Amino acid sequence: MNDNVITYCGWVGLFGEPNSGKSTLMNALVGQNISIVSPKVQTTRGRILGVVTQEPHQMIFLDTPGIFKAQRTVEKAILDVALATFKDVDIVVFLIDIAKSDLDRIVYKLSNLKIASPLILVLNKIDLVPKEILLKWASKLSHFNAPIFMISALKKDGLDGLIKHLKTLLSPGNFVFDKDDLTNMPSHFLACEMTRKQLFFQLDHELPYHTYVEHEKWDEADDLIAIHQCIVVPKDTHKRIVVSKIKDIGSKARQDMMAFFHKKIRLDLFVKVEDKCLDMLTKQIQSS
Ligand SMILES: Nc1nc2c(ncn2[C@@H]2O[C@H](COP(=O)(O)OP(=O)(O)O)[C@@H](O)[C@H]2O)c(=O)[nH]1
Ligand SMILES: [Mg+2]
């Protein structure tokens, strides 16, 4: 870019309850499926970075795990990631699933969050509710003195207005990322996330929450990437369940990888039992 042009840059945190649509919004804004989305809660574990550059503006989004009442150690680690991110961002975007959330609970949560940065409230999933409900939410949240945007992240409706407003809040400063960068997450991490997404879609109940995906090998040739990954589970019984679904998990993850990396993919998945699986998972989340 021309050296004389003033550029604007800022860090934007996406917060909200699990399933409010944070990862869907992040992917819609960035234009790539960087953060995994599933109908199950707590799909997002660490914080995921996505960059939107529309010169002279650069917005760096941090998608966080949802804010919820943590009961187990792993959940506490996930929650800590979300709460720690508050301190690292210039703008706080708080998403609300207006189709499912309880209005009083959201008001209570927002009143208790200690936020120093400018706050933006985003009512998401407007494709699912009638206008009267939207207006009820907007009026109940008006005392927070924060701008309120009504969007559908899934249908990409209302995103332009949100971006336009975010740009007005950015400070003059150099771009942190190259203007073509969409993320700084390493390719092998994103590939593991694509496999993990399939665990959420293909496995029932609690099992996806107790597993993680480990990167093992990445061989890249001209038009082919050969990837080895290991799905780590805490018990033998879990291994049997995962192995029975491994074909579907692998073929769906492979499709996502081909679409993302624009190359042919050979994906070899292994399943390993590790009785310290939950401790390892907690550590992995803490270091994200
Ligand atoms: N109908 C509808 N569904 C949405 C919208 N945004 C997200 N979802 C769905 O809500 C679920 C949770 O989304 P996700 O982005 O993973 O939520 P997160 O936990 O806040 O990151 C997924 O099934 C999404 O497809 C929306 O605007 N409309
Ligand atoms: Mg998410």
**What does the pLDDT read at residue 71?**
64
Buried-exposed string 16-44: b where 16+ CB fall within 10 A, e elsewhere: bbbbbbbbbbbbbbbeebbbbbbebebbb
Residue 287: pLDDT band with limits 50, 70, 90: low
For the chain, report the end-to-end CA distance as a whole number of angstroms.
32
**Mutational test site, ligand 1, from 154, 162, 193, 200, max ligand atoms within 8 Å of CB:** 154
User: For residue 117, is pLDDT > 70?
Assistant: yes
pLDDT for position 217: 96
Domain with CATH 3.30.300.20 in the chain: 187-286
Confidence of residue 78 (pLDDT cuts 50, 70, 90): low
Distance from C-alpha of 114 to C-alpha of 213, rounded to nearest angstrom: 34
Reported as a pLDDT band with limits 50, 70 and 90, residue 70 is: low
Q: What's the CA-to-centroid distance between 149 and ligand 1, angstroms? A: 16
DSSP class of residue 87? G
CB count within 10 Å of CB 219 equals: 10
Percentage of the chain with pLDDT > 90?
A: 59
Task: Please state, in angstroms and rounded to a whole number, the distance separating the CA atoms of residues 114 and 53.
Answer: 29
Q: What are the residue ranges of CATH 3.40.50.300 in the chain?
A: 8-172
- Mean pLDDT of the region 118-145: 92
Please give the C-alpha separations between residue 182 and each of 28, 29, 30, 192, in angstroms, as whole numbers: 12, 10, 7, 18
In CATH, what class is 8-172? Answer: alpha beta
Which position has the higher pLDDT, 257 or 204? 257
Quick one: angle between helices 73-85 and 277-286, nearest 10?
A: 10
Round to whole Å and give the CA distance between 11 and 27.
16
Q: Quick: pLDDT tens for 161-185.
A: 999 999 999 999 999 999 999 999 8
State how far the Cα of 136 lies from the Cα of 59, in Å rounded to an integer: 31
Q: Which residues make Cβ contacts (< 8 Å) with residue 22, sequence separation at least 6?
A: 14, 15, 16, 35, 44, 63, 64, 66, 95
The finding on whether 37 has its CB within 6 A of some atom of ligand 1 is yes
Q: Is the pLDDT of residue 152 over 90?
A: yes
The Å distance, Cα 197 to ligand 1 centre, comes to 14
Sign of the alpha-carbon torsion through 128, 193, 211, 236:
positive
Q: At residue 288, does pLDDT exceed 70?
A: no
How many residues does this entry show for the chain? 288
Q: Which of 17, 19, 97 to mutate to test the pocket of ligand 1 (most atoms within 8 A of CB)?
A: 19
| Ligand 1 pocket, residue 19 CB under 6 Å | yes
Judge whether residue 1 has pLDDT over 70: no
CA pair distance 254, 194, nearest whole angstrom: 8
Residue 256 or residue 85, greater confidence: 256
Query: How confident is the model at residue 147, as a pLDDT?
Result: 96
- Fold designation for 187-286: GMP Synthetase; Chain A, domain 3 (3.30.300)
What band does 114 get if pLDDT is binned at 50, 70 and 90? confident
How open is the CA angle 152-88-137, to the nearest 5 degrees?
A: 30
Average pLDDT over residues 217-223: 93
Mean pLDDT score across all residues of the chain: 88
Q: Are 286 and 77 in contact (CB under 8 A)?
A: yes
The dihedrals phi and psi of 42, each to the nearest 5 degrees, come to 55, 40
Can you list the alpha helix ranges (DSSP code H) found in 31-184? 73-85, 103-112, 131-141, 159-169
